[in-house]
Amino acid sequence: MGKPTGFIEYLRELPLDRSAIERIRDWNEFHLHMEESKLRQQAARCMDCGIPFCHTGTLLSGMAAGCPIHNLIPEWNDLVYRGLWKEALDRLHKTNNFPDFTGRVCPAPCEGSCVLGINAPPVTIKNIECAIADRGWEEGWITPEPPSKRTGKKVAVVGSGPAGLCAAAQLNRAGHLVTVFERADRPGGLLMYGIPNMKLDKEKVVLRRIRQMEAEGITFVCNTEVGKDLPARQLLKDFHAVVLCTGATKPRDLPIEGRNLKGIHFAMEFLTANTRSLLDRHKNGTFISAEGKDVIVIGGGDTGTDCVGTALRQGCRSLVQIEILPRPPMERAKDNPWPEWPKVYRMDYGQEEAAAKFGADPRVYLTTAKKFIGDDQGHVKEVLTVEIQWERNEKGQFIPKEVPGTEKVRPAQLVLLAMGFLGPEQPLLDALGIERDARSNVKAEYEKYHTNIPGVFAAGDCRRGQSLVVWAFNEGRGAARECDRYLMGHTDLP
């Protein structure tokens, strides 16, 4: 695919980002566009590798390897190289309902499994994917495509995050009447409120797709929490099938001394309130502000990075990101071979911005919080941290052990807990009588998605646990396929 000698002739090249100091002054997306000739050169690097691992979509050592939705990457790379952009878009849409989302927020496990990446920088798959989708919108190729006929079957989708949107889009494509219930004031779930605007623009990107879906006949009902504003079992009476896509929104807490102090928040409280205020043109002042504060973010994943980038834009005075794991190596370790996801040291956009403003990567590794210290008004003012080392216990499990004499008191008037999620919230599942697995997730077999209640399906993080947006896409599409099969006795959905 691409140019036979392209991977030899051209070096990996990404579009420039706006400078870190410039972009922390606003909430606009920070990636710049790359000119077409450069994009075609990058697509030319896609080699005729024989067995393309980039679209395998599997789990290796607990991490995604290759594209979970099996994007036909070599094919649309070849089309871009030849300048056939509309054909590339058609090929991309065969497997991906929303490439303009994944092209912005996916960590690109496809690139980690690129065959060229064995001994050279991999193909810039994510950037090309985003460019194809954006070109589609610019050229007017992406338009509403309502189904030619309706089945008369009604389906409720609970949750409008990545899995819910994919399930709704596919079920609507099959001709069913789809209603999506969302408890927030705007549709999009994690895409709307869990990912900051500078990473994924809400009005220009997310709501653009929502409007397309509405034009195709999908109904979105917001400000409606099923199980609270609408009786859960009413869905079973009013709809022929239900697809649960509620996410894994129960955050992991840190129950140490001082946890009840003011100024300590879960990451999603912070991110959601900030984005809502931004979309409301700052007409409400209910967001949590980092302005002029010493901020400590506890957790080193994507959510922690988003907290870093948001706190910087709000004007924090200082920022530290605490990570309990060791700093990754600069290159793949021997126990992390290709095509596994490369667990190497990298600076994401938030750390780049913090380094530009404060002079260094804000992350401190092998460290944990031991105690929150408050002032006379019951507000957090400091965090006592301690360094740790990982040791095996009597069962052979690695556990963190404190290193004596490494305690440190750090100033903090705002602490953000970004340590991941424990699973779905339980009240709705209780109300419907849904069986759970040992991790409190909905019990439903992968690629079948049936729950113990006939006609009720589950997909995304509420079924598999906290995961990537692209895995939610995989599950939303899969649940739609099985739901269509349940309703019609057969299915043509992929």
Of the pLDDT bands very low, low, confident and very high (cuts 50, 70, 90), residue 48 is: confident
What range defines the domain where residue 347 resides? 253-419
> 441 and 463 in contact (C-beta within 8 Å)?
yes
Please check whether residue 430 lies inside any domain of the structure.
Answer: yes
Mean pLDDT, rounded, for 257-281: 96
Q: What percent of the chain has pLDDT over 70?
A: 99
Lowest-confidence range among 38-42, 150-154, 158-162, 282-286?
Answer: 282-286
List beta partners, residue 436: 442
pLDDT given at position 1:
65
Whether residue 105 sits in one domain with residue 232: no
Mean pLDDT, rounded, for 346-367: 97
Please check whether residue 481 lies inside any domain of the structure.
Answer: yes
Residues whose CB is less than 8 angstroms from the CB of residue 91 and which lie 6 or more positions away in sequence, other chains included:
72, 75, 76, 79
pLDDT given at position 284:
66
- Number of domains observed in the structure of the chain: 3
Whether residue 388 sits in one domain with residue 258: yes
Determine which helix (DSSP H) or strand (DSSP E) holds 230, and give its type and residue range: none
Read off the pLDDT of residues 213-250 as tens digits, 9 standing for 90 and up.
Answer: 999 999 999 999 999 999 999 999 999 999 999 999 99
Whether residue 93 sits in one domain with residue 71: yes
Q: Is the pLDDT of residue 61 over 90?
A: no
Residues whose CB is less than 8 angstroms from the CB of residue 96 and which lie 6 or more positions away in sequence, other chains included:
69, 71, 102, 129, 473
Give the mean pLDDT of the chain: 96
Whether residue 375 sits in one domain with residue 288: yes
Q: What is the CATH number of the domain that holds 463?
A: 3.50.50.60
- 453/448 Cα distance (integer angstroms): 13
Whether residue 257 sits in one domain with residue 164: no
Of 403, 419, 435, the domain-final residue: 419
Whether the bond between 339 and the residue before it is cis, its omega within 30 degrees of 0, is yes
Please check whether residue 494 lies inside any domain of the structure.
Answer: no
Whether residue 364 sits in one domain with residue 269: yes
Please check whether residue 149 lies inside any domain of the structure.
Answer: no
Mean pLDDT, rounded, for 417-423: 95
- 206/275 Cα distance (integer angstroms): 13
Please check whether residue 145 lies inside any domain of the structure.
Answer: no
Of 392, 419, 446, the domain-final residue: 419
Q: Is the pLDDT of residue 282 over 80?
A: no
Please check whether residue 228 lies inside any domain of the structure.
Answer: yes
Whether residue 358 sits in one domain with residue 428: no
Whether residue 287 sits in one domain with residue 412: yes
> 111 and 63 in contact (C-beta within 8 Å)?
no
Please check whether residue 31 lies inside any domain of the structure.
Answer: yes
Of the pLDDT bands very low, low, confident and very high (cuts 50, 70, 90), residue 406 is: very high
Whether residue 413 sits in one domain with residue 285: yes
Of 402, 419, 436, the domain-final residue: 419
Read off the pLDDT of residues 118-151 as tens digits, 9 standing for 90 and up.
Answer: 999 999 999 999 999 999 999 999 999 999 999 9
Whether residue 121 sits in one domain with residue 220: no
Please check whether residue 121 lies inside any domain of the structure.
Answer: yes
- 264/65 Cα distance (integer angstroms): 35
Read off the pLDDT of residues 28-40 as tens digits, 9 standing for 90 and up.
Answer: 999 999 999 999 9
Read off the pLDDT of residues 186-209 as tens digits, 9 standing for 90 and up.
Answer: 999 999 999 999 999 999 999 999
Q: Is the pLDDT of residue 283 over 80?
A: no
